[in-house]
Amino acid sequence: MTVNDQAISRRGFLAGIGAACTAACATRAAAAPPPPAPASARMSFGLATYTWGKDWDIPALIAHCTQAGVHGVELRTSANYAHGVEVTLDAARRAEVRKRFADSPVRVVSLATSERMDWPEPDRLRAAIESAKAHLILSHDIGCDVVRVFPNQFHKNVPREKTIEQIARAVDELGGCAGGLGQEVSLEAHGPAGELTTMRAVMDRVTQRTVRIRLNCDRRDTQGAGFAANFDLVKEHLSRVIHLHDLADPDYPYQLMVDLLVKMNWTGWALAERGDAVPDRVQAMADQRRVWETMIEKGRSRA
């Protein structure tokens, strides 16, 4: 039996999940260990399955990442990816996933949901929150400790301030569940509501330390007062996972970002989230890893 054998529908699973998630968070909280430390005291390079890994099942992910010297992976969910890791997995399947990665050189460093905390409709917002809670439990069960969610956007006829407040309340609720599970809620700087100035405004309203900001390496990070000033707004709230794109992109200050991360002694995982087609994804991963490691060495030489 494999993790792809599940036939339970996501919609059916999430129906009425609110009470179940609350109970599960409470149950696991009693025995949950403290949040695990990063895998190493360095800035590690990993893969976000996004498009480069969407058609690789777990054995293929482990094999290809190992070949490329990449030892961390983020599993995107709710998009029928070949890895098959979804909230619908039962306890046996979750244990199977956990063991497969535990027995390999590759660890799951994040689950990437597409759940948005900006919905103006109360029922859609509640469904997104409860789905994210279910992902926190799934992450705990498979040996992961970070779950990605989106802020995502502003809406016509809804004041920006109201949306910012709503996002903050939503992720605060998730943070309360995450704390008992040894998890981090990674709020990615994604969508129109993902500007770093807005992300700081959200975090000024968040009380849970388990909620963190994930950099998404968007060119708009350089706007306004510039990248260094925008980075300074959020650095105290940074997630232990960030998303990279093309490290050769001249329009994004990757080296400056690395310099600032080194200066603040950031440790965590920088994940390649690439949507472009390349002839050899394994070779491309290895090449990007080497570029990232060279940037780190330059950053350390300047620190």
69, two tokens: 């010297």
Q: How many domains does the chain have?
A: 1
* Secondary structure letter of residue 247 according to DSSP: T
For residue 184, the model assigns a pLDDT of 98
Q: Which domain CATH number covers 279?
A: 3.20.20.150
Could you list the residue range(s) of the whole structural domain that residue 129 is in?
A: 33-302
Asked if residue 266 belongs to a domain, the reply is yes
Using pLDDT thresholds of 50, 70 and 90, give the confidence band for residue 17.
low
Asked if residue 6 belongs to a domain, the reply is no
For residue 2, the model assigns a pLDDT of 47
Q: Is pLDDT at 6 greater than 80 in this prediction? A: no
Across the chain, where does the E strand assignment appear?
43-48, 72-76, 107-116, 146-150, 184-188, 211-214, 241-244, 268-272
For residue 100, the model assigns a pLDDT of 98
Query: Is 231 exposed, middle or buried (CB count within 10 Å of its CB: 0-12, 13-18, 19+)?
Result: buried
Asked if residue 159 belongs to a domain, the reply is yes
Angle of CA points 243, 248, 251, to nearest 5°:
80
Give residue-wise pLDDT tens across range 247-265: 999 999 999 999 999 999 9
CA dist., res. 101 & res. 83, Å (int): 12
Asked if residue 11 belongs to a domain, the reply is no
Q: Which of the two residues, 213 and 6, has the higher pLDDT score?
A: 213
Using pLDDT thresholds of 50, 70 and 90, give the confidence band for residue 303.
confident
Q: What is the mean pLDDT of residues 1-19?
A: 48
Q: Is pLDDT at 156 greater than 70 in this prediction? A: yes
Using pLDDT thresholds of 50, 70 and 90, give the confidence band for residue 34.
very low
Q: What is the mean pLDDT of residues 109-123?
A: 98
Cβ atoms of 206 and 130 within 8 Å: the answer is no
CA 178, distance to chain mean position in Å, is 13
Average pLDDT of the chain, as a whole number: 91
For residue 42, the model assigns a pLDDT of 87
Asked if residue 295 belongs to a domain, the reply is yes
For residue 197, the model assigns a pLDDT of 98
Asked if residue 87 belongs to a domain, the reply is yes
Q: What is the mean pLDDT of residues 35-63?
A: 83
Q: What is the pTM of this model?
A: 0.90
> What is the percent of the chain where pLDDT is above 70?
86
For residue 3, the model assigns a pLDDT of 46
The closest alpha carbon to 181, from 209, 139, 213, belongs to: 139
Q: Is pLDDT at 7 greater than 60 in this prediction? A: no
Give residue-wise pLDDT tens across range 167-210: 999 999 999 999 999 999 999 999 999 999 999 999 999 999 99
Q: Which of the two residues, 115 and 2, has the higher pLDDT score?
A: 115
Asked if residue 16 belongs to a domain, the reply is no
Q: What is the mean pLDDT of residues 72-84?
A: 97
282, two tokens: 């394994």
Sign, CA torsion 290/37/62/148: negative
Q: What is the mean pLDDT of residues 279-301?
A: 97
Asked if residue 10 belongs to a domain, the reply is no
